[in-house]
Amino acid sequence: MRDSTNVGTGTPPAGGRVTAPRGEGVMTNLLDQLSTWLVDHNLTGLLFVVLVFVTFAEAGLFFGFVLPGETALLLGGALTATGALPFWPFLVTAVVAAAAGDSLGYGVGHRYGSRVAGSRLGRRVGSKRWAAAGDFLGRNGGKSVFLARGQALLRALVPFLAGQARMPYGVFFRWNLAGAVVWAGGVVVLGHLFARSVSVLERVFGWFGLAVLVALVAALVVRHRRRAHLAPDAAGPGG
């Protein structure tokens, strides 16, 4: 995979194939096969755009309730490790998209405010979630824009509420940019490092052990998200 691909630029080797060295594990081969399929079908550019759009739309268009942005960023980061996507362009674009999406959410909240909260979409969000996000914003001020990056519900609602509350845009922008760099950049790097190290984990734990480890992590993530959505009024300053 990595010895036959220009990882830094995302340029596939001759013939358009992204191949793995002998001895790679099952999960590594799955990433390789996905990368090869994307390259062979000329879909890497489209996937780049889709992943960046999901990141942008999480707060800007409230997509975070359907598909959290870190899902797209983790997948994109993993595919930069195989060479299917270019690392630095994807990283930079993801950070810009995350900051721009929150700025759009701020603008919508500033301009339309209670009309959106009282709309069908706002009612689907639920009064408890609006109240929890509003309380979080009230207790943390400008830094809430940064802290909200750690939780999908807050990440989707806080920029809108910051605009509705008429937070000075200069304050919002500083915390928004810092959060985008740390969150979007960090998640992309995490996905990239995971994909690069997964073959090592497979050799250490074996495929079955790695599958159990992934299942445990996934169960913890699902449990965390379920608790966050079932009890939004318990959201605290740390997200």
Question: Which is more confidently placed, 7 or 144?
Answer: 144
DSSP characters over the chain: --SSSBTTTTBPPTTS---PPTT--HHHHHHHHHHHHHHHTT-HHHHHHHHHHHHHHHHHS-GGGTS-HHHHHHHHHHHHHHTSS-HHHHHHHHHHHHHHHHHHHHHHHHHHTHHHHTSHHHHHH-HHHHHHHHHHHHHHTTHHHHHGGGSHHHHHHHHHHHHHTT--HHHHHHHHHHHHHHHHHHHHHHHHHHHHHHHHHHHHHHHHHHHHHHHHHHHHHHHHHHHHHH-GGG--TT-
Answer yes or no: is 66 within a domain. Answer: yes
Does some domain include residue 239? no
Domain span at 230? 26-234
Q: What is the mean pLDDT of residues 3-18?
A: 48
**For the segment 69-78, what is each residue's pLDDT rounded down to a tens digit?**
888 999 999 9
| pLDDT bracket for residue 235 (50, 70, 90) | very low
Q: Is residue 8 part of a domain?
A: no
pLDDT at 23: 42
As a whole number, mean pLDDT of residues 93-111 equals 96
> Could you tell me which residue, 124 or 93, shows the higher pLDDT?
93
Segment 106-154, tens digit of pLDDT: 999 999 988 888 888 888 888 899 999 999 999 999 999 999 998 888 9
Flag whether 150 is in a domain.
yes
Q: Kindly state whether residue 1 falls inside one of the protein's structural domains.
A: no
Task: Examine residue 18 and state whether it is found in any structural domain, yes or no.
Answer: no
pLDDT of 6 above 50: no
Say if 103 falls within a structural domain: yes
Which of 203 and 18 is assigned the larger pLDDT?
A: 203
- The pLDDT of residue 9 is above 70: no
- pLDDT at position 20 is 43
Max mean pLDDT range (30-39, 130-139, 223-232): 130-139
